Amino acid sequence: MNMGDCQTRQSDEIIISSSSGEATTDITVPSSLSIFHEDILLSILSFVADTPFEMVGGDNPTSLTHTLPLVSKQFHRLTKQHDIFWENALLRLVKQEYLWEDGTKRFVFDSKCDKIRSDILKRNHNRNRRDKRTKNNQLQQQQTRAEAVQMNASSNVENLKSDNTDNTTKEETLLKQACDAIEAYPPRNHTASSSGIHQCIYKSIVNHHLRYQGPVFYMPSAIRLGSPYGLHFFEPRYRLLMSEVMAPYPVSARRGERISPMVPSLIPNNSLRHNGDDDDIKADLLNVLEQNQSLLGKYQLPSFIHAHQSPLRKNTPATIVQVRQCMVSRDGSADVYLEPIAYIWIDQVFERPGTGGLYEAQGIRMGKEASETYERWCGMAHLRMGDGRGRSQQLPIP
C-alpha cells in the first residue's frame, strides 16, 4: 500500500491519506497529547502556564494569555474553561511575594466590608418604608438576629476544626478565604462563577492592589521606606493636593491631631442605631476590623505619590507616602509629616487641567526584590557610587 500525503488538523489529530489503485481512504491517528487524560494534561500545562506579573516584565504577554491558547483548539478550550492555572499562579505568588499576600487579604477585607455596607443599606431601606414597627416584626427580627449569631458561632467552630484537622498551607487557607468571600458577596463589576473565580480574584488584586493611582508631588530627594520626613506645602497645586487627600477625613485630622484609618461608609458610620437594633451588624463590623488591624494601618490612611526621581515619565521609580500628621493653615498651606510605605514604577502620568500644574499618575507596586535593589541603587547614587550601568540597566524595570 502506497502512503500519500500527511495532513494535520488543529483539533490535535493527524490524518494520513492512503491510496491503493483508484480507492482512497483517510486514516485518523490521534496525536501524542490526546492519549493523556484531561486532568494529566492540565497538570502538565500548569508547569508552563505563566500569568501576567508573575515574571519580571509586569503586564506583558505571557504563556497562559498569549501562547497556549493559540497552540490548538484543545489548548484554547483548556485555558479558557479551567481555572486551575490561575489557582496555581495565585498559590505561587502568595507564597513568594508579600504583595500578593497583602492583596489577597485586602480582597477578603473589601468583600466583607461590601457585604456589611449592603446589609446597612437594606436595613435602612426597610426602615424608611415603614414608620412604625409592630410587635410581630420586632419578634421576627430578634429571632433572625439570634439565628445569625448561632450560624456565625457554628461557622467559626467549623472553621477552627477544619484548620486543625486539614493539612493545608497558609497560602491555601488564605486563597480559600478569598474564594468563600467572593462566593458570599461577589465584588462590584465582576461575575463569580465556578470556572473563573480564581481569575476574578487575580484581576481584582492587580487592579485594586498592585496598581495605584493618585496625585503627584514632585521634588527630587532621598527617600527610604519606613523613614518619616516632614514637608511644607505652599504652592497652589499642592494645597489642592492636600485638600483632596484629606477631604474624606474629619476636621481634626487637618488640625494636627492623630489621623485614624477610615473605611468609606463604615468608619465612621452614623446610620447604625444605638438602641440594640443594629447590634448584629456592629458585631460583624468590629469582628472584621479586629481581624484586619494591620491592613487598616497600611492602606486606609490618606496617601499620594511623591515623585523624587527625574524625569517624570513611564518606568521612573516613585514612592507612595502616607500622611501621618497634617496641619493646614488658614491660607491653605500645610505642614505634613509623611511616611514612605511602598515604591512604584510609574506607568502613566498626565497633568490635570485646571489645577495649576498638578499631575496625576498611575503606577505598579514594586515587589520585595525590586524594592531592595532600588534602595541599594539610591544609596550608591547618593554617595556617587555605582557600577556604571545606571538605573535603567541595574533595576528590574517592568
Written in H, E and C, the secondary structure of 35-95 is HCCHHHHHHHHCCCCCCCCCCCCCCCCCHHHHHHHHCCHHHHHHHHHCCHHHHHHHHHHHH
CA 83 to chain centre: 18
**The C-alpha cell that represents 294 in the structure block:** 494591620
Closest CA to 100 of 41, 170, 36: 170
CA distance 165 to 181: 22
CA distance 180 to 177: 5
At which residue does the C-alpha cell 491558547 appear?
69
CA distance 365 to 139: 51
For 44-69, give one letter per residue: b (16+ CB within 10 A) or e. Answer: ebbeebbbbbbeeeeeeebbbbeebb
Amino acid at 128: N
In this prediction the pTM is 0.75
pLDDT in tens, the chain (398 residues): 444 444 444 444 444 444 444 555 444 444 566 677 888 888 888 888 888 888 765 667 888 888 888 888 888 888 888 888 898 889 999 988 888 999 999 998 888 888 888 877 777 777 666 544 554 555 566 566 555 555 554 455 445 444 444 578 888 899 998 888 888 776 554 544 445 888 889 999 999 999 999 999 999 888 889 899 999 999 999 999 999 999 989 898 999 898 988 887 776 666 666 555 667 777 778 888 888 888 888 888 999 999 988 888 888 999 999 999 999 999 889 999 999 999 999 999 999 999 999 999 999 999 888 888 888 887 766 555 544 444 444 454 44
